């Protein structure tokens, strides 16, 4: 039957004390380099594995961070997670990454799994249908820091967040269209319960108001911002009697899908309709015409979130010191919108 090799087995094999073996394996300066080499070689030969889990439990720390994201098949979220993993590994932490698949029930199950895994902290981007946050209370009650990013709860629940100013971004995107003489502007967005989509919509409304343009209910399209949604949108606008001359879509993938499908129906972009997206995904540069969009860095959000959480853990700061951080965004003008006359 298999049995884990312990420091006592190595000590017996080398006729050393267990304390000496333990210090040698930890590269303690009091142990001679020849002894360290001898111990390390014997440990490798015998198949010794350091029990990090037991060691961390003694310190009441697992060096593990839990992460919950809405979905993994997103270029933006991939860049967020890549940055998080790099920062975590540099600091000697591991990530346990889960996805809610845009379901609050799955999100609730993920929080329980991560709580039972004794993560030291939690990073969360909310599912589209999350409107109650009670499932995070078990972390808060145990003083385990929770930091939200991108899709965040109401500030009445938590101020600990990493976001961009989605209101300003939505207003700037719409202003860009208005400044180019475009008046009939529709907005395509996701579930308005989520802060990112709600705030972009309100920014769009503000730009219309400032431009003296009245908003009509039929100018708002709410869907899942998928490739299929973009294709269906193109057909719907193609068949409409009063076509818009501008469209602001809260996701690059949906915007690119719309452009492709609308052109296939015989229309021209931006001559008949100007299109602006959101995220600056790589796909925005592989469509003809290239997509005007709002750029905000997923990697910077991931890096900032992990670094702030680790600072809280490593300095034993109270979770209440985690507050709101607003990162910059930028309007990237390309060929899918006309140049200002």
Tokens linked to 59: 């310190």
Sign of CA dihedral 21, 24, 26, 29: positive
Phi-psi category of residue 254: left, alpha or beta, with phi > 0 → left and psi -120 to 50 → alpha? alpha
- Strand-pairing partners, residue 163, are 326
Tokens linked to 25: 């394996």
Cα(286)–Cα(290) distance, rounded to whole angstroms? Answer: 7
Q: Is the pLDDT of residue 231 over 70?
A: yes
The DSSP-derived string for 21-32 is: HHHHHTT-TTS-
The total of other beta-carbon atoms located within 10 Å of residue 9's CB is 18
Q: Which helix (H) or strand (E) holds 64?
A: strand 64-69
| Across 51-55, 79-83, 145-149, 284-288, least confident range | 51-55
The total of other beta-carbon atoms located within 10 Å of residue 168's CB is 17
Phi, psi of 139 (to 5 degrees): -70, -45
Contact indicator for 60, 28 with CB cutoff of 8 Å: no
**34-73 pLDDT per residue, tens:** 898 898 888 888 877 666 555 555 556 788 999 999 999 8
**86-95 pLDDT per residue, tens:** 999 889 899 9
User: Regarding beta strands 64-69 and 185-189, do their DSSP bridges make them parallel or antiparallel, or are they unpaired?
Assistant: unpaired
| Across 18-32, 205-219, 291-305, least confident range | 18-32
**Ordered domains of the chain (ranges, CATH):** 7-50 (1.10.260.40), 62-163+298-327 (3.40.50.2300), 166-296 (3.40.50.2300)
Q: Which of 314, 330, 239 is nearest to 87 (CA)?
A: 314
């Amino acid at each position: 039957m298999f049995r884990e090799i312990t420091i006592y087995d190595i000590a017996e094999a080398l006729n050393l004390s267990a304390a000496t073996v333990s210090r040698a394996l930890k590269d303690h300066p009091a142990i001679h380099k020849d002894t360290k080499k001898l111990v390390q070689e014997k440990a490798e030969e015998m198949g010794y594995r350091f029990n990090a889990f037991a060691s961390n439990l003694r310190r009441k720390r697992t060096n593990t961070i839990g992460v919950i994201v809405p979905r993994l098949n997103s270029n933006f979220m991939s860049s967020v997670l890549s940055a998080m993993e790099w920062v975590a590994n540099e600091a000697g932490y591991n990530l346990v990454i889960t996805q809610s698949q845009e379901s609050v029930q799955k999100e609730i199950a993920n929080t329980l799994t991560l709580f039972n895994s004794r993560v030291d902290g939690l990073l969360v981007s909310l599912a589209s249908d999350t409107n109650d946050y009670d499932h995070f209370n078990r972390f808060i009650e145990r003083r385990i820091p929770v930091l939200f990013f991108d899709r965040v709860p109401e500030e009445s629940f938590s101020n600990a967040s990493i976001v961009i100013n989605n209101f300003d971004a939505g207003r700037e995107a719409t202003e860009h269209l208005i400044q180019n003489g475009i008046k009939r502007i529709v907005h395509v967005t996701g579930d308005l319960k989520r802060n990112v989509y709600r705030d972009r919509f309100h920014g769009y409304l503000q730009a219309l108001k400032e431009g003296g343009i009245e908003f009509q209910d039929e100018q708002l399209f709410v869907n899942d911002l998928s490739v299929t949604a973009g294709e269906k949108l193109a057909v719907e606008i193609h068949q409409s009697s009063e076509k818009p001359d501008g469209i602001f879509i809260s996701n690059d993938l949906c915007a690119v899908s719309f452009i492709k499908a609308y052109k296939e129906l015989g229309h021209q972009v931006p001559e008949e309709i100007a299109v602006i997206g959101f995220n600056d995904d790589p796909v925005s540069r592989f469509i003809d015409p290239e997509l005007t969009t709002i750029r905000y860095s997923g990697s910077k959000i991931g890096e900032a979130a992990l670094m702030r959480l680790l600072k809280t853990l490593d300095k034993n700061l109270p979770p209440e010191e985690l507050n709101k951080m607003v990162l910059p965004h930028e309007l990237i003008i390309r060929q899918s919108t006309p140049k200002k006359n």
